[in-house]
Amino acid sequence: MVGTVDLSVRIGKLDLAYPTLMGSGCYGSGEEFAPFIDLALIGGVVLKSVTRAPRLGNPTPRLVQTPAGMLNAIGLQNPGIEWYLEHEVAKFASRTCKVIGSVAGFSVDDYAYVSQRLAARSEIHALEVNISCPNVGSEGETFACDPNLTARVVKAVRTTTDKTLIVKLSPNVTDIAGIAREAEAAGADALAVINTVRGMAIDVNTWKPRLGNVTGGLSGPAIRPVAVLAVYEVARAVKIPIVGQGGIETTTDALEFFLAGASAISIGTANFTDPRIPVRIADELREYLAAREIGSIREIIGKANIGLSGPFQYEGDEG
Amino acid sequence: MIKNYVTEVCRGGFDAHTEVPESTENGHRMLLESPASVHETRVLDRTVLAPGVVLLGFHAPHLVSVTRPGQFVMAIPPGGERAATALGIYEAQGERASILFFVCGPRTRELAELREGDQLAVTGPLGNGFTFDAAKDVAIVAGGVGIASVLLVAQSLVQMGKRVRLFYGARSAHLLVERDRFAEEGCELICATDDGSLGHHGFITEALTRAKEKPDLILACGPSPMLRAASSIARELGVPAQLSLEETFACGVGGCWGCVVPLDRRSAQAPNFPPEGAGGGEVVMARICKEGPVFWAHELRW
């Protein structure tokens, strides 16, 4: 039974043999992890974000340990789209998993330009639109924090390609479901929920921020409940599939996201713990489903049993 | 329980050629095909060398066969839910490799609790290694746990018939672990302690400055202030130096760009972006875990 359980999912037009993506910025281009894991046993890798112009990235330190997670502030270090197309993209053709390009920018025009150039390449199977990088000043995340800007970026990118567009949302907003609806209406095929949560740490000996960039993005299990809720809220607001992410380390964690409404999951920080985790999760998902005589992972998406557990009201309470 | 997602320590090494490597046409070096893999090992032996300083030997014949002096491993404690820790490969001989570490956080504490027969997965070998072929008289400078990354290079140098002086500093005499071992391997030992309990009373780099005979290569591994001091001494002496840098890692394999150091663009180790003229000027950010952890001191712009 375990062998026949179907883990394949479809995200927009993108067919994934496994419902596991490797998070952007955590996994290089996949090549870095190939000595430690068979990339044919993951769904795909989301590449590190690329921008129109090259970027040196943020000053160091760029990483800080925090309770149950870590802060990072890399700052979109990348070679710029032209160099990337010329020197990097051809190498992705040999990947045995799906390859999802990631596009970042500082204007609507940036996003459209980079998307059009990148999506034109056959090595790239789909695009993630990173409108939610918290580590490039106020500009990077602005797009994901404003429903109108989200809509404008997604519309502009949509005109450049028919390939699957996954729009990565920020948790640092009041109403993520509202932003999600805008992205869907503007033509997104799927949503990645969530990017990192903004955070800060201070060294009490030097009184200096512990990150060179002062602030950073929090990842790891510390943000998992925030992410599960975001997936749940977004899933109720839109019809397009969701790639759930935020602190997934184990099969149990992954299942929470599927039940909350994610069609696939993305693993980032956990790969720093043990690069074998994505394959272990896929194996254990099969076991979990087989034990319950469920034939496909698709059957549990969004099946969290919410109906019977609404807020309890005492008799006589008003409102 | 507090888990860790970035490394507590990073200790690395150097590659095996002597001249400062020539820059290639575009000024960048191709990374070598990685011989790294995940090694499922078992702990063979555990020795407490001093309070909070542990030597763990493990069975890893394949790792031994592909390790170069100065490389490191990421050690994954059993259970797989805790973060990996970057540690210099201390010994590598026959079927046994070892790591030597100071307990400095929850993960190293967990590693320190492993016992003979326990499972231990390590990924590696990672990073480049020391470069030392042409040198004849080498000064190795090790500060504290930096000693963990220099035994293999010391052994190689002695085998090649080179003179090896180990300048070895720590807070106190009891933390100058394994110094007899280095003497047995054929190194001349010069020690320094912060409290004056053994050797020079002060920094080991002061002892290096006072050395009467000038080495023709300096290899250093230790805390950043020591590396900076070793770097300026090397400059004053006109001697090339390689530094094995210390930094917090997340992935340890070049995937996250968290552990970067500013490097001269003309360095053979410089990553090829941003492209020239497109930002960063003469300085680019190199990954300590991938392009390093060993860099030529004169090429760093930190």
pLDDT tens profile A184-238: 999 999 999 999 999 999 999 999 999 999 999 999 999 999 999 999 999 999 9
Give me the torsion for CA of A47, A52, A53, A56, rounded to 10°. -30
**Nearest partner of A28 among A74, A83, A65, judged by Cα:** A74
Grouping H, G, I as helix, E, B as strand and the rest as coil, residue A63 is strand
The domain total for chain A is: 1
> How far does the CA of residue A110 sit from the closest CA of chain B (Å)?
16
Q: Name the band, by pLDDT with cuts 50, 70 and 90, for residue B15.
A: very low
Chain A contacts of B34, Cβ < 8 Å? 35
CA–CA–CA angle B143, B149, B150 (5° rounding): 80
CA torsion A199-A202-A203-A209 (nearest 10°) is: 90
* SS3 assignment, position B167: strand
Pairwise CB contact (< 8 Å): A74 & B256: yes
In this structure, is residue A42 part of a structural domain?
A: yes
Confidence class of residue A120 from pLDDT cuts 50, 70 and 90? very high
Q: Which of B8-22, B58-72, B120-134 has the lowest mean pLDDT?
A: B8-22
Q: Which of A32, A63, A274 minimises the CB distance to B255?
A: A32
Q: How confident is the model at residue B254 (pLDDT cuts 50, 70, 90)?
A: very high
| pLDDT band (50, 70, 90) for residue A133 | confident
In this predicted structure, what is the pLDDT of residue B30? 33
Instruction: Indicate the SS3 state at residue B121.
Output: strand
Whether B77 has a pLDDT exceeding 90, the answer reads no
CB within 8 Å of B74: residues ≥ 6 apart: B7, B84, B85, B86, B87, B122, B123, B124, B126, B249, B252, B253
Given the structure tokens 């090259």, which residue do they identify? A54
- Mean pLDDT along residues B211-215: 92
How confident is residue B277, by pLDDT bands cut at 50, 70 and 90?
A: low
pLDDT tens column, A223-232 = 999 999 999 9
Please answer yes or no on whether A77 and B272 come within 8 Å at the CB atom.
Answer: no
Is A314 within the bounds of a domain? Answer: no
pLDDT at B20 over 50: no
> Is A65 a member of any domain?
yes
Cα–Cα distance between A168 and A276 in angstroms, integer?
25
Mean pLDDT of B270-276: 75
| Chain A neighbors of B249, CB-CB under 8 A | 63
Check residue A76 and give left, alpha or beta (phi > 0: left; psi -120 to 50: alpha).
left
State the Cα torsion A186-A192-A193-A194 to the nearest 10°. Answer: -110
Report the residue of chain A nearest B256, measured CA to CA.
A26
CA distances from B247 to B1, B128, B173 (A): 24, 15, 26
Q: What residues of A are in contact with residue B275 (Cβ under 8 Å)? A: 54, 79-80, 83
Evaluate if pTM is beyond 0.80.
yes
So what's the pLDDT on residue A314?
A: 61
CATH number of B37-126: 1.20.1090.10, 3.40.50.200, 2.40.30.10, 3.40.640.10?
Answer: 2.40.30.10
Q: How many CB pairs under 8 A join A and B?
A: 147
| pLDDT value for B140 | 98
Residue A274 to residue B256, Cβ atoms within 8 A: no
Q: What is the mean pLDDT of chain A?
A: 93
Paired strand residues for B218: B139, B241
* DSSP codes, A25-47: TTSTTSGGGTTTS-GGGSSEEEP
pLDDT single digits (tens) B117-128:
999 999 999 999
* Cα R_g (chain A), whole angstroms: 19
Distance CA B261, CA B258 (A): 10
CATH number at A246 reads 3.20.20.70
Spell out the domain ranges in chain B.
37-126, 137-246
Q: Is B256 close to A36, i.e. CB distance below 8 A? A: no
Which stretch of A139-143, A194-198, A285-289 has the lowest confidence by average pLDDT? A139-143
Burial readout B150-167 (b: 16 or more C-beta within 10 A, e: otherwise): bbbbbbbbbeeebbbbbb
Best of B257, B261, B276 to disrupt the A interface (most A CBs within 10 Å) is B257
Give per-residue pLDDT as tens, A261-285.
999 999 999 999 899 999 999 999 9
Beta carbons of B278 and A78 less than 8 angstroms apart: no
pLDDT above 50 for B24: no
Residues of A in Cβ contact (< 8 Å) with B81 = 249-250, 273-274
For A35, nearest residue in chain B (alpha carbons): B37
Q: Determine how many CB atoms are found less than 10 A away from the CB of residue A314.
A: 5
* B10 pLDDT higher than 60: no
Query: Which pair of tokens denotes residue A80?
Result: 């710029």
Tokens of B52: 């909070």
Q: What are phi and psi of A64, to 5 degrees?
A: -140, 135
Q: Which two tokens stand for residue A259?
A: 């039940």
Calculate mean pLDDT across residues A57-82.
93
Mutation target for B interface from A65, A248, A276: give the one with most B CBs within 10 A: A65
β-sheet bridge partners, residue B193: B170, B201
CB nearest A26 (choices: B252, B256, B260): B256
List the single residue in B82, B123, B273 with the smallest CB-CB distance to A79. B273
Question: DSSP E strands: which ranges in A75-212?
Answer: 98-103, 126-130, 164-168, 190-193, 197-200, 202-203, 208-209
Distance from the B77 Cα atom to the nearest Cα atom in chain A, whole angstroms = 9
Look at B37 and A221 and tell me if their CB atoms are within 8 Å. Answer: no
Looking at the domain assignment, is residue A262 inside a domain? yes
Closest CA–CA distance from residue A144 to any residue of chain B (Å): 22
Instruction: State whether CATH 1.10.1740.10 applies to domain B137-246.
Output: no
List the beta strands (DSSP E) in chain B: 37-50, 53-59, 72-76, 85-93, 96-102, 119-126, 137-143, 163-170, 188-193, 200-201, 217-221, 241-244, 260-264, 283-287, 294-296
Taking residues A44-71, what's their average pLDDT? 93
Confidence of residue A3 (pLDDT cuts 50, 70, 90): confident
Show which residues of A are catalytic. 133
| Structure tokens that stand for B262 in this block | 């500013």
In a domain, A215, yes or no: yes
Least Cα separation, residue A11 to chain B (angstroms): 25
Closest CA to A196 of A55, A62, A3: A62
| Nearest to B10, CA basis, from B78, B80, B104 | B104
Which residues of B have a CB under 8 Å from any CB of A? 2-6, 8, 34, 36-38, 76, 80-84, 105, 121, 123, 247-261, 272-275, 278-280, 283-285, 290
Give the model's confidence band at A309: pLDDT under 50 very low, under 70 low, under 90 confident, else very high: low
| Structural domain of A11 | 2-300
Tell the residue number behind the tokens 């002086």, with chain if given: B165
Flag whether pLDDT at B18 surpasses 50.
no
Enter the tokens of residue A197: 């949560």
CA B5 and chain centroid, separation: 21
Statement: residue B26 has pLDDT above 60: no
A contacts of B4 (beta carbons < 8 Å): 65
In sequence order, what are the residues at sequence separation of 6 or more whose Cβ sits closer than 8 angstroms to the Cβ of residue A137?
none
Residue A76: pLDDT band by 50, 70, 90 thresholds? very high
- pLDDT for position A137: 65
Nearest to A35 among B37, B81, B290 (CB): B37
